[in-house]
Amino acid sequence: MDEMTEVRELRADVPVPDRARLAPGRARLVEAARAGERHRALWRHRGFVIVGVVAAVTAVAVTVSLLLGGAAGRQVRPAASPTASPSLRLKGVSAAEFLRRAADVLDTEPDAEVPTAKQWIYTKSMQEPLNEQAKNATGPMKAMLGPQEGWIRYDGTAMADFGLDTTGKHRKLHVTKMHLENGGEGDDRSPREMYRVLAALPAGAEQTLQTLRETNAIADTKGASQARDDYDEISVLLTADVMPPRGLASLYRALATLPGGELTDHLVETAAGRRVIALDYAREDNPKSGRSMRDQWLIDPQTYRIVGIRMIQGGKVVGGDSIVATGVVDQAGERP
C-alpha cells in the first residue's frame, strides 16, 4: 500500500461531524486541494478542520486547528507544563468550582504586551488522538501526521502554514492574504478584533453572558436552549489567538453558570506530551451512532489557560488538537 492511500484510510473510522455537533461554527477549509486557497474562520468556533494537500495529494483528514491565546511579545508556551500549581485540587471538585477558582487566579495576572498589527501568532500543535502510525511515519506521512505549524497576522491580513509542494515530497511555506477585519470576510474576525472583545468583557458572570447575548456573534441554533446558545458563544472566544487574562476569567465565570460541565479528577496526558486538566461539556448525541458527544477542553494546570480541545465519543477521543508551543514572531515562517 502506498503512503497516500494510508493517509486516506488513516481516519476512515472517525464519524463524520454532524451539523448540530458543530453548532458553534461551521466547518472551514484551512487548506483546500487547490494551492493557496484557504479560509480561516476566526470568530466562529474553530472546531473540525478539513485539511487538504495541494496538487497530487488529495488525502483529507479531520482535525482541530486551535491557535490559542497566549502571552504576547516573544514569550513561548513550553512543550509540556511544569509541576501543577501547589493549590491544584481536582478530586471532589465540580466544574463550576474549578472555573471560579481559575478565574480568581487569572484576575491576579498582569496584562501581557499586545502584539503589533504586523506581528504573527505562531502555533505548533499535535493531532488528537496520537495515531500509532504517526510514530514511525516518514516522508509525506510524517508531514501529515506530525506536529503542525501555523501563523496568522495579528491584524488578520494573512495566514501561513507549511504544506507539501506539487511533488508531494517537500514542505513549502504557503502564505494566504486575507481581510478579516470590519466584516471583510463575513463573520470572521482577526486576532486583534477578538482580543478587543475579550478585553471589554465585564468581570461578572451574568454581565458577561448578557454582553455575549447582545453581541450574538454566533447565530442561535433553532430549538436550542439559552444555555446551549450561551455555551456556543463562550466556546468561540475560548479559542482566541491572544487572550487577556481578565477576559479569560470572565469567560470562565460565565461558563461556570452553565449546566453540563464535568471535571476529570486527575490530570490527563495529551498527544503533545502535556499533563493537563480535562474539562468536559456534553453535546447532543450523534444521531447516526446514538453515542454521546462531549467537548473536552484541555487546561494547563499551572497557568489555567486552554492548551487544546478534544472531541469525546463513546468514552474515546476521536478528534482534536493539543498545543505544543505558541508565541509571537515578526514574520511568517519564523519560530520563537
pLDDT single digits (tens) 84-109: 555 678 999 999 999 999 999 999 99
Higher pLDDT, 54 or 67: 67
Q: State the burial class of residue 302 (Cβ atoms within 10 Å of its Cβ: 0-12, 13-18, 19+).
A: middle
> 182 in the Ramachandran plot: left (φ > 0), alpha (ψ -120 to 50) or beta?
left
Percent of the chain residues topping a pLDDT of 70: 64
Q: Which three cell numbers stand for residue 25?
A: 461554527
Q: Above 90 in pLDDT, residue 153?
A: yes
DSSP-derived 3-state class of residue 57: coil
- E strands along 57-214, which residues? 60-64, 120-127, 148-153, 158-164, 171-177
Scan for cell 502584539, then name that residue: 115
- DSSP summary character for residue 8: H
| Range 17-42 average pLDDT | 33
What pLDDT does 315 receive? 86
pLDDT at residue 1 tops 50: no
Q: Which three cell numbers stand for residue 117?
A: 498589527
Residue 159: pLDDT above 80? yes
Q: Which residues contact 15 (CB under 8 A, 6 or more apart)?
A: 286, 288, 289, 313, 318
In this prediction, residues 29-55 reach a mean pLDDT of 31
Q: What is the mean pLDDT of residues 204-224?
A: 87
Which residue is it, cell 501547589? 86
Query: What is the Cα–Cα distance from 27 to 41, expressed in whole angstroms?
Result: 8
| Average confidence (pLDDT) over 113-141 | 83
> Before 129, cis peptide (omega within 30)?
yes
pLDDT of residue 327: 95
Cell matching residue 88: 491544584
CB 64 within 8 A of CB 128: yes
Rg of the chain on CA atoms, in Å = 19
268 close to 255: Cβ distance less than 8 angstroms = no
The residues pairing with 33 across neighbouring beta strands, listed in sequence order, are none
- pLDDT tens figures, 263-293: 999 999 998 889 999 999 987 655 555 667 8
DSSP state of 185: T
Residue bearing the bigger pLDDT, 244 or 49: 244
Whether 35 has a pLDDT exceeding 70, the answer reads: no
More confident residue, 189 or 132: 189
Residue showing cell 487574562: 245
Instruction: Match 484551512 to its residue by C-alpha cell.
Output: 30
Q: Tell me the average pLDDT of the chain.
A: 75
Residue 314: pLDDT band (50, 70, 90) is: confident
Considering the entire predicted model, what is its pTM? 0.74
DSSP code for 182: G
Predicted local confidence at residue 286, as pLDDT: 53
